[in-house]
Amino acid sequence: MESDVYNLRRLEILRELKHRGTLAAVASAMSYSPSAVSQQLTLLESEVGAPLLEREGRGVRLTPQADILVARTEKALRELERAETEIAASLQEVSGTIRVAAFQTAMLALLPAALTWLRERHPRMRVEATQAEPDTSLPGLLTRDFDLVIDEAFPGQARPARAAEYEHHLLFEDAMRLATPAPVASLADLAELPWVMEPADTPARAWATAVCHAAGFEPDVAYVSADMLVHVRLVEQGHAVAFLPDMLRFDRAPGLVLDGSAGHTRTVLATVRTGAGEHPRIQAFLTAIRQPF
């Protein structure tokens, strides 16, 4: 067996292919050309002495032997991440870059205050933030596109697959209030009115629809937007009703009647890779994001 059978960079390329699915996606993520990715995987196959890829239509899939290598690579990367955590903890100052993804209301309500707090206390720490919904940003933790994702969980909604690979840190419970242009006696009174909701196949939409079903009606979703500020404007102008989160303090908006008597909440979380939560940068960011806003 050659001494470089377990060349970590080549194993990382194979791991990226497992997560991203195509050679082109791996090349883009790792700043390689597709031909360079293919060449590195061919070298790895030669070193291992077993086929790692099989043709599947126009693409490729990993062989059982490749899956074994990827599983071991995941463990090796976790150990390296622990070593990085220990080294960072041994230093006097928190520094370096943390890559964060957050959904829209978190970007608006939480991130600016957190950045101010970090700038004052950890000036050598850099935050790179991307607005993205959890269904797209959580897989980015496993591909190491992000180090931390601000996530949300609604009652009755299943958590994402591969839950053992994620570590969740509770931030707070966020009330979800019924928003109407005028007071109503109950949710059922809105059965004939148009609603604005988030896009289909999102946890927020599934939760809001389930709440309406529990009240005995199918909501008339006339307007669809992932932007909560659009929801506010439509309710203010009397065109729709909606569920709005407390996080953005919509009680300050004129023309809204907010009713939280039903006690609906969502849970706001910070999610990281399993074992990464003790890294000083992540600890600093968690402290910052929990500051009152």
212 and 104 within one domain: yes
Q: Is residue 1 part of a domain?
A: no
Q: Is there a single domain that holds both residue 203 and residue 175?
A: yes
Placement of tokens 């239509």 in the chain: 57
Range of the domain at 243: 95-293
In a domain, 36, yes or no: yes
User: Which of 63-72, 157-166, 271-280 comes out lowest in average pLDDT?
Assistant: 157-166
**pLDDT value at position 2?**
43
What pLDDT, on a 0 to 100 scale, did the predictor assign at position 46?
A: 84
CATH number (domain holding residue 41): 1.10.10.10
Residues 246 and 291 in one domain: yes
Q: Are residues 160 and 281 in the same domain?
A: yes
Q: What percent of the chain has pLDDT over 70?
A: 96
Instruction: Count CB neighbours of 16 within 10 A.
Output: 22
Choose the weakest-confidence range: 42-56, 123-137, 230-244, 260-274. 42-56
The better pLDDT of the pair 76, 151 is held by 151
Query: What is the rounded CA–CA span in Å between residue 100 and residue 115?
Result: 12
Residues 217 and 147 in one domain: yes
Residue 232 has pLDDT above 80, yes or no: yes
**Same-domain status, 179 and 61:** no
State phi, psi for 104 to the nearest 5 degrees.
Answer: -60, -50
Q: Which residues contact 276 (CB under 8 A, 6 or more apart)?
A: 81, 85, 147, 167, 282
Indicate whether 171 and 59 sit together in one domain. Answer: no
Could you write out the DSSP letters of every residue in 90-158? Answer: HSSS--EEEEEEE-HHHHHHTHHHHHHHHHHH-TTEEEEEEE--HHHHHHHHHTTS-SEEEEEE-TTPP
Q: What is the pLDDT of residues 18-69, one digit of tens each?
A: 888 888 888 887 778 888 888 888 888 888 888 888 887 777 888 888 888 8
Kindly provide the b/e burial profile for residues 172-184, where b requires at least 16 CB atoms within 10 angstroms of the residue's own CB.
Answer: eebbbbbbbbeee
pLDDT, position 160: 62
Q: What is the CATH number of the domain that holds 262?
A: 3.40.190.290
- Would you state the pLDDT for residue 54? 85
Together in a domain, 103 and 67: no
Q: How many domains does the chain have?
A: 2
- Answer with the one of 22, 56, 86 that is the final residue of a domain: 86
> What pLDDT shows up at residue 266?
95
The stretch 117-134 carries a mean pLDDT of: 95
Looking at the predicted structure, is the pLDDT value of residue 147 above 60?
yes
Distance CA 20, CA 29 (A): 9
**How confident is the model over 57-101, as pLDDT tens digits?**
777 888 888 888 888 888 888 888 788 778 877 777 899 999 999
| Residue 3 lies inside a defined structural domain of this protein | no
What are the residues facing 259 on neighbouring strands? 178
Last residue of a domain, one of 66, 86, 106: 86
Residues with Cβ < 8 Å from 288, sequence gap 6 or more?
Answer: 113, 114, 115, 117, 118, 121
Domain closes at, from 67, 86, 105 = 86
Report pLDDT for 268. 96
- The reply to whether 273 falls in a domain is yes
Cα separation, 273 vs 293, in Å, equals 26
Q: CA distances (Å), 35 to each of 16, 52, 117, in order?
A: 15, 17, 45
Predicted confidence (pLDDT) at residue 265 exceeds the cutoff of 90: yes
Q: Whats the size of the chain, residue-wise?
A: 293
**Percent above pLDDT 90 for the chain:** 53
pLDDT at 190 over 50: yes
**Alpha helical stretches, state H, 199-250:** 203-214, 228-236
Determine the pLDDT at residue 33: 83
**Same domain membership, residue 146 and residue 269:** yes
Span 159-170, mean pLDDT?
78
On whether both 151 and 253 belong to a single domain, the answer is yes
Asked if residue 26 belongs to a domain, the reply is yes
Is pLDDT larger for residue 233 or for residue 83? 233
**Same domain assignment for residues 106 and 58:** no
Residue type, 186: S
Residue 120 pLDDT level (bands cut at 50, 70, 90): very high
* 99, 169: one domain: yes
